[in-house]
Amino acid sequence: MNIALIAHDKKKKDLIQFVTAYLSIFKKHELYATGTTGLRLCEETGLKIKRFQSGPLGGDQEIGALIAKNEMDMVIFFRDPLTAQPHEPDVSALIRLCDVYNIPLATNMGSAEVLVRGLEHGDIDWRQLERGRGKKFSIKE
């Protein structure tokens, strides 16, 4: 599975702890992350992670592009709901794309744990079928 890992600045430590706790699961999958989050995850977990730009510089949009091409299977995005984000429209667009393309999305540790446990038990395997179909949408639809 292709999994995107994103965290706002005040949530990066939480995401690192979360990924560390479920390292045995995450190491079986292809991981993607926005800039600084990906760097810190690589340094602290030793996982191989494809890194994009930082969120405010377009990383959220790069992950959104993979979602729109049906190449992302899950997004874990630890958001900071108490701090205004200068790139909030990008965040909203990413969340919207997850809804449009039925991509499982966790925005906090509680929902992320449910998704990762489901991933471990095969509850998200339907994404492999969906991705395998190459489901694409055209302007005419």
Q: Does the residue 138 lie in any domain?
A: no
pLDDT greater than 90 at residue 134: no
Task: Look at residue 137 and tell me whether its pLDDT is greater than 60.
Answer: no
Structural domains counted in the chain: 1
Residue 139 domain-assigned (yes or no): no
The answer to the question of residue 141 being in a domain is no
CATH number for 114: 3.40.50.1380
DSSP 4-60: EEEE-GGGHHHHHHHHHHTHHHHTTSEEEE-HHHHHHHHHHH---EEE---GGGTHH
Residue 39 located in a structural domain: yes
pLDDT value of position 128: 82
Expressed as residue numbers, the domain containing 70 is 2-132
Task: Provide the whole-model pTM.
Answer: 0.89
Q: 140 in a domain, yes or no?
A: no
pLDDT at site 95: 95
* Active-site annotation holds for 60: yes
Alpha carbons 132 and 141: distance in angstroms, whole number:
20
In a domain, 125, yes or no: yes
Residue pLDDT, tens place only, 13-40: 999 999 999 999 999 999 999 999 999 9
Q: Which residue among the candidates 9, 14, 60, 125 is catalytic per the annotation?
A: 60
Nearest CA among 22, 17, 16 for reference residue 36: 16
CA distance 119 to 57: 30
What is the arithmetic mean of pLDDT over 40-51?
97
86 found inside a domain: yes
